[in-house]
Structure 1
Amino acid sequence: MCTRIYNNFNPENKFLTTARNMDWAEQMPTTIFVFKTNLDKPTEKIGLSEKDTDALHDNPLTWIARYDSVVNMVGVSAPYGASDGINSAGLVANLLYDSDASYHRNDSAKYKQLDVLRWVQFVLDTCASVKEVVNQFNENATVQIEIIGAKVPGSTKEASLHLAVSDKFGDSAIIEVHKGTFVIYHNMDFRIMTNEPSYAKQIELNQYWRWQWSSQNHFPSSTLPGGPFPSDRFARASYYLNHLHPTHSSADSLAQSKSIVMNASVPVNFNSEDDNFPNIAQTLWTSVSDHNNLLYFFCNARTMGDLYIDLNELDRLTHPVSQLVVVDLKEGKFINKEFYGACYDKFEKADDPFAVQAMTLA
């Protein structure tokens, strides 16, 4: 399923980009949100939706956004699920499927609760670097957080997910959740991530492939797995990412990152119902983020155009929260809208779907 790569292959952290594929068996209604902060009139956000609250989940995390952000949301109406995005500090967050994720804690009363579909938004609102994200979720964090499970909007499937973050300082981390406990892999060399297996196993596999391609192997092999399975795609992304010339421009880095994840994508209308391909799904869209120049590109696999948003030009948007529906769902039919370049005039005023006032706690 999904693949994420972080292109930090330059010594001065000048041209840093992150790209990811979003894969799913069926098309998904999708909306891009732009959030502009106003610390004079801050909007308080909340970690739970009305559907989350019950006798066990009544201690929501709340926060104030410190940074502007562009966020890709699954859904065209509430409840939304924040999938990935970039903030005005150059931090990028990507959620990918993780079939081994488990969120429940037996001692949850001690923790502030955060819906997994609001995880990306919380991180982009409150953190400027990977180090800050790691500090939010390690065992010594000032506020201890419990991730609450949810269903993917418009689907009956559980949102079983893990988080990847990267920044403009060349840093990267992957955070998994096992039985409610955060397992953090923090290293600037952890640049590639797929759905399965666990990231610990992915590191082992990557070491094997890196040795195969290295000068330490007297009979080096450049054979690459060509299949659609996560471990195959991880190996392909690792090979190409580790055989790049250093970038000399942001345009080169963006093109490199996009081409690598496209190489690790799954074709549109791939037959994922075949019993030989469990958990393999078509690539719906690709996002590419420029950490240094604060650009976010959305590339729909079913259209020929790419949309981008420049966080340096958010004054072109009138409203504090704006939205653009890129994949609509009407009368049971998906509509993939054609957008090209900067489309600020296409964005519409929206309410913040994660604001406290958007929810009435029981």
Structure 2
Amino acid sequence: MCTRVVWPDAGGAVVVGRSMDYHRDLATNLWALPRGVDRSDGITDALRWRARYGSVVTTAFDMISVDGMNEVGLAGHVLWLAESEYGEVDRNRPALSQAVWLQYFLDVFATVAEAVDWVVENQVQVVPLTDPASGEVPAIHLALDDATGDSAIFEYIDGGLRVHHDRSYRVMTNSPTYDRQLELLREIDAWGGDRPLPGTTAASDRFARATYYVERLPAPRSQVEAIASMFSVIRNTAQPFRMPDPGRPDVSQTIWQVVADLTRRRYVFESSTRPNIVWVDLDGIDLSDGSGERMIDLGGGLAVVDGLAGNVSGEFRQTDGLRFLTLAAVESARSAP
């Protein structure tokens, strides 16, 4: 499930796209999260911080950030990786719950390099949380990219952290692990192998197609053309609707797609079930300390009759705030009669 692609030379801008493939509705909404909000790790509260940067994020069930961009052009993307094993928690090292993993980076860092340095120096841990509604335990990895064109991928394999940090790492999909994806790419004729460019929706095939097409995009003449070009690549990796297979959550249909211009800070959202494309210009919304957390209800707000399309920067509505899933909430739900 899911594909992420970075285009670092999109006519003077860095543009990134991602698809969200899943076997059920994620009750996705858009949130504007300002500077100055206090958060904690969702595990023991040993790690606490105050948001240095405001961000716009896409959520799942309004309890986990799965995609987003902050006001200085750092973006992040959570994708499924079945091989993920996070290991036992070491109380002497910083730990983040899966729910707030991405949000920490958007809150605190301006560049990929800063984030990588912190993760490696502290050997940061990620703690999986059971979805109280479905009983699923997500197996995920994380990609970060920034307005300089830098890229990093964080995976937890066999209980250990693997960081893949290089500007050339433009594409991420799902299984197998990232190092193996790079090996498989060299089997394709475009990279010296003897296999033709593959056409299935398997993660390794989507990895190859996305890599092939993003390397061949023509120079865009405008921001609109750059965003459209990235959508053309992401749509090429989309998965059609299908009957759900509970035993294979990595084999799912594309339910929405995002394209973000990290240089000019525009965040574009497209649902697979509605014709309206909407976008947010981060320069056009108030992310100052004290401005309040706000949301756009994508579940009810994108119907054609509502007329919500195009620039929706002014459509965020004040809420009580985003409540990230915590270990305490999971344990409380588990013990409830």
TM-score range, shorter chain: 0.7 to 0.9
Q: TM-score, normalised by structure 1?
A: 0.82
Which of 80, 88, 105 lines up with 1:105 in the alignment?
88
Equivalent in the alignment of 1:243: 216
Question: What SS class does the counterpart of residue 119 from structure 1 fall into?
Answer: helix
Query: CA separation in 1, counterparts of 2:246 and 2:283?
Result: 45
What is the aligned partner in structure 2 of residue 148 from structure 1?
127
Q: Which residue of 2 aligns with 1:51?
A: none
Aligned to 1:73: 59
> What residue identity is the alignment partner of 1:58?
T
* Number of residue equivalences: 325
Q: 1:191 deviation in Å? A: 0.3
Paired AA for residue 188 in structure 1: R
Q: Give runs of ≥4 in structure 1 deviating > 6 Å.
A: none
Query: Quick one: distance in 2 between partners of 1:228 and 1:255?
Result: 22
Q: Which residue of 2 aligns with 1:348?
A: 317
Q: Percent identity among equivalent residues?
A: 27
Say if 2:104 is the partner of 1:122: yes
Aligned to 2:78: 95
> Retained in 1: the 8 A contact 2:39–2:48?
yes
Residues 272-317 of structure 1, C-alpha deviations (whole Å, 9 max, x = no match):
4399x77310001001100111010110010001111111011399
User: Deviation at 1:171?
Assistant: 0.7
Amino acid paired to 2:12: K
Q: Report what 1:227 is aligned to.
A: 200
Comparing 59-68 with 239-248, greater Cα deviation is found at 239-248
Q: CA deviation at 1:244?
A: 2.0
Code of the residue aligned with 1:63 in structure 2: it is W
Is residue 319–residue 349 contact of structure 1 (8 Å, CA) maintained in 2? no
Give yes or no for the alignment of 1:324 onto 2:308.
Answer: no
Partner residue in 2 for 1:189: 168
Distance change (3 Å), C-alpha of 1:278 and 1:84: closer
Q: Which runs of 5+ in 2 are unaligned?
A: 333-337
Alignment CA distance shift 1:234-1:7 (3 Å): same
Checking the alignment, whether the CA contact within 8 Å between 2:81 and 2:139 is kept in structure 1 is yes
Shift of 1:154: 4.1
Report SS of the residue matched to 2:25: coil
- Runs of 5+ consecutive residues of structure 1 not aligned to the other structure: 49-56, 329-334
Q: Matched residue of 2:138: which SS?
A: coil
**Cα 1:130–1:71 shift into 2, 3 Å:** same
In structure 1, distance between residues paired with 2:136 and 2:236: 27
Query: Contact 1:111–1:145 at 8 Å: present in 2 too?
Result: yes
In the TM superposition, 1:1-362 aligns within 5 A as 1-9=1-9, 14-37=12-35, 42-48=36-42, 57-76=43-62, 80-105=63-88, 108-138=90-120, 140-141=121-122, 144-152=123-131, 154-209=133-188, 212-213=189-190, 223-267=196-240, 269-273=241-245, 279-315=250-286, 319-327=291-299, 337-338=303-304, 339-353=308-322
Residue deviations 1:63-106, cap 9 Å, x none? 11111100001014xxx011000001101100000111111226
Other structure's SS at 1:254 match: helix
Distance (whole Å) between structure 2 residues aligned to residue 282 and residue 197 of structure 1? 19
8 Å contact from structure 1 (residues 15, 247) kept in 2:
no
RMSD over aligned Cα atoms: 2.8
Return the alpha-carbon distance in structure 2 between the equivalents of residues 61 and 195 of structure 1: 29
Asked if structure 2 preserves the Cα contact closer than 8 Å seen for 1:74 and 1:153, the reply is no
Partners of 1:153 and 1:32 lie apart in 2 by 22
Partner Cα separation in structure 2 for residue 117 and residue 160 of structure 1? 12
Q: CA deviation at 1:44?
A: 1.5
| Matches of 1:92 and 1:274, distance apart in 2 | 30
Counterpart residue type for residue 241 of structure 1: V
* Separation of aligned partners in 2, 1:130 and 1:273: 35
Q: Distance in 2 between matches of 1:134 and 1:326?
A: 32
* 96-105 or 341-350, which deviates more: 341-350
What whole-Å deviation, never above 9, does each CA across 1:145-203 have from its counterpart, x for those lacking one? 32110134743221111000111111111110124432100111100000111000011
Using the TM superposition, name which of 249-258 and 111-120 deviates more. Answer: 249-258
